[in-house]
Amino acid sequence: MTAPDLAPNALAEPLRALSVWASGHCGYGHHVRTEVMRGALSAILRRLVYFGLEDGFTRYHSRELLMYLGLATGTFSSYLARIVLARAIVEDEREVIGAFASSHAADDLLAWFAAYDHADAERAGALLAGLVEPEERATARLVVARRQPQLAEAQWLWQVPAEVPQVAIALCAQFLTRRPDLVHAVHAWLIEHRTALFCIEPDDLLAPLVMASAEHPQVTLLPFADMYGEQTVCASAEWHLEHHEPAAALELAGRVRPLSRHADHAHVIRGLALIALQRSEDAVEALAAIDDADCADLLAVALAAVAPARIDDDAVAAIAGRCRADQPERFVACLKVLLGRRELAIARRLAAQRQGDFAHPHAQAVITAILAPGAAMSA
C-alpha cells in the first residue's frame, strides 16, 4: 500500500529529474546548460521559494532573473517546485519543507512526505511494504530511517538506485550516526558504489561523508585514493585536526594546490595544525598565504593566542570588530586573547560596542562578565 491520498510513485518523477539535473544534462532544453547557470537557477529557485521574490531580485542580476522567471512559468514552475521539495526531503531541510506547506506548490508530494515522516514504526513498516518503485521506496526508507532508525536494514542501502546517489549518501550518514551495527554495510557499499559518489558532484557528497565515516575506523576510504576532490581533502584534514591529529591534518592540507579555490581553507587548517605542533613561526607563513579576510581572521586569532608578537592588540581588536553575528566563538576568542594579555580596557570597549550583536548565551555571558562593574583582571 502507498501513503494515503497520494498517487503512486509521486516522488519518482521529481527524483529522476533531480538526478538528471545533478548529473548535468537537464531535460528541459539548452537554456540551462552550463554549470554556472544551473547552479544559479538552483539557488534562485531555492531563494524564490524560501525567501520570497524580493531577496531574489536584490541578489541576482535582473537579466538572469528575468530569464529564469521566464522559464519558470506554468507547469514548468510546478515541475521545478517539486524538484526543490524532493531535494529538501532528501536533504532533510525542514525549513524549506515547511515553506511548501503554505505555498501549496506541491501538496501531493508534501502529503506523501508527511505520511512517512509522522508514521509510527508499525505504520511505517506497513507503508514501506507496499512500495515497489525503486526511487520512491529508497526515499521513503530514508525518511523513515530518520524517525525510526531501528527499522533500517543493510539492504536498504544496497537497494538504492544508482540514479539517486543523494539518497544513498544520506542513508549512509544515518547508518553511521544512528546504527553502529550497520557501519560495516556502509563500508562495503562505499567500496562497491564509489560510482555514484564521483559521477555526480562528488565533493559535495563526499566531504560530509568523510567527516562522518572517520568516526568509524572500520570505514576506510582507501578505495577513493587519488580521487578525492580538494574540498573532501579539506574536510578530512579538518576532521584530523579536530581529533587532535595535527600531523595528519598538516599532511592532508598540504595536498591542496595554491591555486585551488579551497586553498585558503587548507591554509587555515595548515596554520592551526602548525600551532598545535608548536610551530607558530611556520603558522605565520600560512597566515600570510591566505587571501580571504575571513579565513585569515580565523587563523590570526588562534595565532594571537600563542604568538603575541605576531598579532598585536590592535589587530585582535580589529578582528573582534569584524566578527559577524554568526561568529560568536571568534569574538569570544578575541576577548580571551585580550584578557590573557591583560588588556581589559580594550576588551571592555569591544564588549560594550558589540554587546547586542551576539545571541549565543556563552558569548552573552562573557560580555556581561567583562562589562560588570567589578570586573578586574582576575575575570
- Least distance in angstroms from the C-beta of 224 to other proteins: 9
Q: Is 194 in the site for other proteins (CB under 8 A)?
A: yes
Is 85:96 a contact under the CB 8 Å cutoff? yes
Which is closer to other proteins, CB of 34 or CB of 150?
34
169 Cβ contact list (under 8 Å, min separation 6): 197, 205, 208, 209
Is residue 8 within 8 Å of residue 2, measured between CB atoms? yes
The residue (of 293 and 372) whose beta carbon lies closer to other proteins is 293
Instruction: Decide: 110 and 97 in contact? Cβ < 8 Å.
Output: yes
- Asked if residue 117 binds other proteins (CB under 8 A), the reply is no
How far, in Å, are 47, 128, 186, 212, 278 from residue 180 at the CA level? Answer: 36, 23, 10, 12, 36
Of residues 199, 193, 149, the one with CA closest to residue 173: 149
Distance CA 204, CA 39 (A): 13
Identified binder of other proteins from the candidate list 258, 356, 361, 374, rule CB under 8 A: 258
Asked if residue 29 binds other proteins (CB under 8 A), the reply is: no
Q: What one-letter code names the amino acid at 231?
A: Q
With contact defined as beta carbons under 8 Å apart, do 152 and 182 qualify?
yes
SS3 167: helix
CB 183 within 8 A of CB 218: yes
Q: Which is nearer to other proteins, 82 or 187 (CB)?
A: 187
In the set 69, 199, 277, 306, which binds other proteins (CB under 8 A)? 199
One of 1, 66, 162, 325 touching other proteins (CB under 8 A): 162
Residue 113: what residue type? F
Stretch of 123-131, 226-234, 319-327, 339-347 lying at the interface with other proteins (CB under 8 A): 226-234
Return the residues of window 34-53 that contact other proteins according to CB under 8 A.
34-35
CA atoms of 232 and 209, how far apart (whole Å): 9
Give the nearest distance from C-beta 157 to other proteins in angstroms.
Answer: 17
Q: Which is nearer to other proteins, 13 or 201 (CB)?
A: 201
Q: Is residue 289 a contact point for other proteins (CB under 8 A)?
A: yes
Choosing from 92, 201, 294, 313, the residue that interacts with other proteins (CB under 8 A) is 201
Name residues contacting other proteins, limited to 291-350 (CB under 8 A).
291
Question: How near is the Cβ of 359 to other proteins at its closest, in Å?
Answer: 34
Which residues of the shown chain bind other proteins in the complex (CB under 8 A)?
A: 23-25, 33-35, 162, 194-195, 197-203, 227, 229-230, 253-254, 256-261, 263, 266-267, 270, 289, 291
